[in-house]
């Protein structure tokens, strides 16, 4: 089968012919129908995340069709369409797993990092960590839900909004364009922060309901109740704290971020909260899919073939993707 693999840090992915994987206990063999390209994939390719396995197949926003089931796998029938997310497994017995914090598991398994992901024609996944997908989304438009949606939703939940609020989104890409729609549907005002001079992203945010869109180093016209930082830029942390009111919250929503510069304590004082998001739990996924059943979102995607994975990565890296990049094997 065709797969795109990480050759060396910073190098283009390499197309290889790999043997068909075989499902083990509780695993499913899945034909990949679509796979989103996430900024975390860029961090893996660039070795911002320390490489764990040479020649890894990236991709953790996987939409696929079950082809075969391994021993003990009974959740999904052959032919079912499922989603495979970033969290591909957890130990189930460490102190975090024992307290419903499997996203912080001491020995986690991540799709496209610890086990081969969706930049391939087929993959295997532990069925216990997969999701049934809403039929209203076709394969390409369902793919971004599985990380941009799920991780974005966890960050949104941790912002702790109470009643109609002002929410800032820093970095208006795959995650922000989904969360903006949910926030607007739930009665919040969305303020979008984009790269200075990026009129295209600002217009995109306004079309999705943002009441204001401006450069990331600017202050919004009103103090924010919370801010979600999706761009992996440490300098946005003090910018977000500056924009958030006393008692507000700034959430760092990425798995990797450049160093946070020093900032005056006055930006944190006033009982502002600064926190991070790590991975996701299966409960996050169930809550997210229940939410978009009540408040459907439209995912905006640009598609490439699997063999064009490097072109998709280059477009994402250069900020030329409105919404999400998706590979179609």
Tokens of 96: 């975090």
Same domain, 81 and 11: yes
SS3 call for 28: strand
Range of the domain at 216: 150-276
Q: Phi and psi (nearest 5°) for 73?
A: -85, 110
What's the pLDDT score for residue 10?
84
Same domain, 195 and 299: no
Quick one: pLDDT band at residue 201, thresholds 50, 70, 90? Answer: very high
Helical H runs in 15-134? 39-45
Helical H runs in the chain? 39-45, 139-142, 148-158, 174-185, 199-207, 236-243, 282-294, 309-317
**Residue 82 neighbours by CB under 8 Å, 6+ apart:** 28, 30, 63, 64, 65, 66, 76, 125, 127, 130, 131, 132, 133
Tokens of 16: 């290889």
Q: Residue 291: is its pLDDT beyond 90? A: yes
- Read off the CATH number of the domain in which 98 is found: 3.90.180.10
Pairing of strands 14-17, 2-5: antiparallel
Contact yes or no for 82/66 (Cβ under 8 A) = yes
Residues 278-289: tens digit of each pLDDT: 999 999 999 999
Same domain, 272 and 285: no
Same domain, 74 and 154: no
Residues 241-271: tens digit of each pLDDT: 999 999 999 999 999 999 999 999 999 999 9
Q: Residue 66: is its pLDDT beyond 90? A: yes
Tokens of 291: 């939410």
Q: Among 276, 293, 313, where does a domain finish?
A: 276
What's the pLDDT score for residue 284?
96
The DSSP element (H or E) to which 105 belongs, if any, is none
For the entire predicted model, the pTM comes to: 0.95
- Read off the CATH number of the domain in which 208 is found: 3.40.50.720
Same domain, 212 and 119: no
Same domain, 218 and 294: no
Task: Quickly list DSSP for 141-199.
Answer: HHGGGGTHHHHHHHHHHHT---SS-EEEEES-SHHHHHHHHHHHHTT-EEEEEE-TT-H
Tokens of 237: 């942390």
**Residue 316 neighbours by CB under 8 Å, 6+ apart:** 37, 39, 42, 325
Pairing of strands 62-69, 27-37: antiparallel
Same domain, 242 and 266: yes
The CA distance from 260 to 273, in Å, is 15
The CA distance from 18 to 27, in Å, is 19
Same domain, 285 and 144: yes
What's the pLDDT score for residue 322?
87
Same domain, 104 and 165: no
Quick one: pLDDT band at residue 272, thresholds 50, 70, 90? Answer: very high
Same domain, 91 and 228: no
Same domain, 110 and 173: no
Residues 89-125: tens digit of each pLDDT: 999 999 999 999 999 999 999 999 999 999 999 999 9
Instruction: Kindly report the average pLDDT of the chain as a whole number.
Output: 97
What's the pLDDT score for residue 159?
97
What's the pLDDT score for residue 30?
98
**Residue 128 neighbours by CB under 8 Å, 6+ apart:** 26, 75, 89
Residues 2-60: tens digit of each pLDDT: 999 999 888 999 999 999 999 999 999 999 999 999 999 999 999 999 989 999 999 99
Same domain, 154 and 7: no
Number of domains in the chain: 2
Pairing of strands 27-37, 14-17: unpaired
């Amino acid at each position: 089968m065709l797969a795109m693999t990480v050759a060396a840090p910073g190098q283009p992915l390499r197309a290889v012919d790999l043997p068909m994987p075989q499902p083990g206990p509780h695993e499913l063999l899945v034909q990949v129908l679509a796979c989103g390209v996430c900024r975390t994939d860029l961090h893996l390719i660039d070795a911002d995340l320390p490489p764990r396995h040479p020649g890894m197949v990236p991709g953790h926003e996987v939409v696929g069709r079950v082809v075969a089931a391994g021993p003990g796998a009974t959740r999904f029938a052959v032919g079912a369409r499922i989603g495979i997310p970033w969290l591909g497994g957890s130990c189930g017995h460490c102190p975090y797993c024992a307290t419903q914090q499997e996203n912080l598991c001491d020995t986690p398994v991540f799709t496209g990092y610890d086990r081969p992901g969706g930049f391939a024609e087929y993959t295997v996944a532990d069925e216990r960590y997969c999701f049934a997908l809403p039929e209203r989304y076709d394969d390409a438009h369902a793919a971004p839900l599985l990380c941009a949606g799920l991780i974005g939703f966890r960050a949104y939940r941790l912002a702790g909004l109470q009643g109609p609020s002002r929410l800032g989104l820093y970095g208006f890409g795959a995650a922000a364009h989904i969360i903006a729609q949910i926030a607007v549907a739930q009665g919040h005002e969305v303020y979008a922060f984009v790269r200075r001079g990026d009129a295209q992203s600002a217009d995109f945010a306004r079309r999705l309901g943002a009441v204001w869109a401006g450069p990331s180093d600017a202050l919004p016209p009103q103090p924010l109740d919370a801010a979600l930082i999706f761009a992996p830029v440490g300098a946005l942390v003090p910018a977000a704290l500056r924009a958030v009111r006393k008692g507000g919250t700034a959430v760092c929503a990425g798995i990797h971020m450049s160093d946070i510069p020093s900032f005056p304590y006055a930006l944190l004082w006033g009982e502002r909260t600064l926190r991070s998001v790590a991975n996701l739990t299966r409960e996050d996924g169930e809550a997210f899919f229940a939410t978009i059943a009540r408040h459907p979102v439209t995912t905006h995607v640009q598609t490439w073939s699997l063999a064009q994975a490097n072109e998709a990565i280059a477009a994402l890296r250069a900020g030329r993707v409105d919404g999400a990049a998706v590979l179609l094997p």
